[in-house]
Amino acid sequence: MKIAMIGQKGIPSRAGGIEIHVDEISKRLVCLGCQVEVYCRKEYCDRKYDNGSYEGIKLKYTPYINSKHLDAITHTFTSTISALLSDCEIFHYHALGPSALAFIPRLFGKKVVCTVHGLDWQRKKWGKFAAAFLKFGEYATARFANKTISVSKNLIGYYREKYGVEPTYIPNGVERPDLLRAQLIKEKYDLDNEDYILFLARLVPEKGAHYLIEAFNRIKTDKKLVIAGGSSHSSSYLLELKKQAAQNKNIIFTGFVRDQELAELYSNAYFYVLPSDIEGLPISLLEAMSYGNCCLVSDIPENTNVIGTIGYSFSKSDVEDLSQKITTLLNDRDKVLRVKALAGRYILNKYNWDRVAVETKNVYKSVLKSNSKKNQSRRLGNEGKTHNLN
9, 42: one domain: yes
pTM of the full structure: 0.84
Look at residue 129 and tell me whether its pLDDT is greater than 90: no
Q: Strand 312-314's sheet: what is its strand order? A: 251-255, 224-228, 196-200, 271-274, 295-298, 312-314
19, 155: one domain: yes
Torsion-angle region of 333 (φ positive above 0: left; ψ -120 to 50: alpha; else: beta): alpha
pLDDT in tens, 184-224: 999 999 999 999 999 999 999 999 999 999 999 999 999 99
SS3 40: strand
CATH of the domain at 196: 3.40.50.2000
Q: How far apart are CA 15 and CA 7, in angstroms?
A: 13
CB-CB contact of 5 with 98 (8 Å): no
The range of the structural domain enclosing residue 70 comes to 2-173+352-380
Average model confidence (pLDDT) for the chain? 91
DSSP state of 388: H
Q: CA-based diameter of the chain, in Å?
A: 92
205, 296: one domain: yes
41 part of a folded domain: yes
Number of domains present in the structure of the chain: 2
Provide CB contacts within 8 A for 284, sequence distance 6+: 17, 200, 201, 274
Look at residue 139 and tell me whether its pLDDT is greater than 90: yes
User: Phi/psi of residue 346, each to 5°?
Assistant: -60, -50
| Average pLDDT for 11-25 | 92
pLDDT band at 46 (very low <50, low <70, confident <90, very high): confident
Q: How far apart are CA 58 and CA 245, in angstroms?
A: 43
Q: How far apart are CA 133 and CA 122, in angstroms?
A: 12
94, 220: one domain: no
| Average pLDDT for 91-114 | 96
344, 356: one domain: no
Look at residue 123 and tell me whether its pLDDT is greater than 90: no
pLDDT in tens, 157-187: 999 999 999 999 999 999 999 999 999 999 9
119 part of a folded domain: yes
389 part of a folded domain: no
User: 294-326 burial, b if ≥16 CB within 10 A, otherwise e?
Assistant: bbbbbebebbeebbeebbbbbebebbebbbebb
126 part of a folded domain: yes
346, 357: one domain: no
CA distances from 279 to 136, 204, 325 (A): 19, 12, 21
